[in-house]
Amino acid sequence: MTASTPSRTAAAPPDPGTLKAVPVRHYGQWVAAVVCLALLVLLVRAVATNETIQWDVIGSRIFFDAILDGLVTTIWLTVASMVLGVLGGVLVAVLRLSDNLLLRSISAAFVWLFRGTPVLVQILIWFNLALFFPRLGFGGASVSTNDLITPFTAALLALTLNEAAYMSEIVRGGILAVDGGQREAAEALGMTSGLVLRRIVLPQAMKVIIPPTGNELVTLLKTTSLVAVIGAGDLLTQAQAVGATDFTRLEMLIVASIWYLVLTTIASAGQALLERRFLRGSTHARGRSWLLRRIATDLRPGRNQDAGAVAAPVPPSEERDAR
**Is the pLDDT assigned to residue 216 strictly greater than 60?**
yes
Max avg pLDDT among 42-46, 107-111, 195-199: 107-111
At residue 115's C-alpha, the angle toward residues 109 and 116, to 5°, is 85
Mean pLDDT confidence for 105-116: 93
Which of 62-71, 86-95, 151-160, 181-190 is predicted least confidently? 181-190
**End-to-end CA distance of the chain, in Å?**
45
- For position 11, what pLDDT does the model report? 60
pLDDT mean across residues, the chain: 81
What are the tens digits of pLDDT across the range 1-53? Answer: 455 555 555 566 666 666 677 777 778 888 999 999 999 999 988 888 888 88
Res. 68 pLDDT band, cuts 50 70 90? very high
Amino acid (1-letter code) at residue 110: F
Percent residues over pLDDT 70 in the chain? 79
Q: Which of 7-11, 97-101, 265-269, 300-304 shows the lowest mean pLDDT across its residues?
A: 300-304
If you average pLDDT over residues 295-321, what whole number do you get? 50
Give me the amino acid identity at 45: R
Please, which pLDDT band fits residue 55 given cuts at 50, 70 and 90? confident
pLDDT confidence of residue 19: 67
Range of lowest pLDDT (74-88, 233-247, 298-312): 298-312
Residue 235: pLDDT over 50: yes
- Averaged over 189-198, what is the pLDDT? 81
d(CA 224, CA 158): 10
Q: What is the mean pLDDT of residues 160-173?
A: 93
Domain range annotation of the chain: 54-294
- Predicted local distance difference test score (pLDDT) of residue 49: 84
122 Cβ contact partners less than 8 Å away, ≥ 6 residues apart: 114, 158, 161, 162
Q: Residue 81 and residue 153: Cα distance in Å, rounded?
A: 11
Other beta carbons within 10 Å of 223:
20
The predicted pLDDT at position 311 comes to: 44
Closest to 184 measured CA to CA, from 209, 198, 201: 201
How confident is the model over 214-231, as a mean pLDDT? 92
The per-residue pLDDT for range 276-304, each reduced to its tens digit, is 876 665 555 455 445 555 555 555 555 54
What's the pLDDT band for 107 if we cut at 50, 70, 90? very high
Question: Vertex 253, ends 248 and 258: CA angle to 5°?
Answer: 130
Predicted pLDDT at 147: 85
DSSP 216-284: HHHHHHHHGGGGGGGT---HHHHHHHHHHHHT-HHHHHHHHHHHHHHHHHHHHHHHHHHHHHHTTTSHH
What residues form DSSP beta bridges with 135?
144
What pLDDT is stored for residue 312 in this prediction? 46
Please give the Cα distance from 160 to 154 (Å, whole number). Answer: 10
pLDDT band at 309 (very low <50, low <70, confident <90, very high): very low
Check if CATH label 3.30.70.270 holds for domain 54-294: no
pLDDT value of residue 89:
92
DSSP label at residue 97: T
Alpha-carbon gap, residue 121 to 125, rounded angstroms: 6
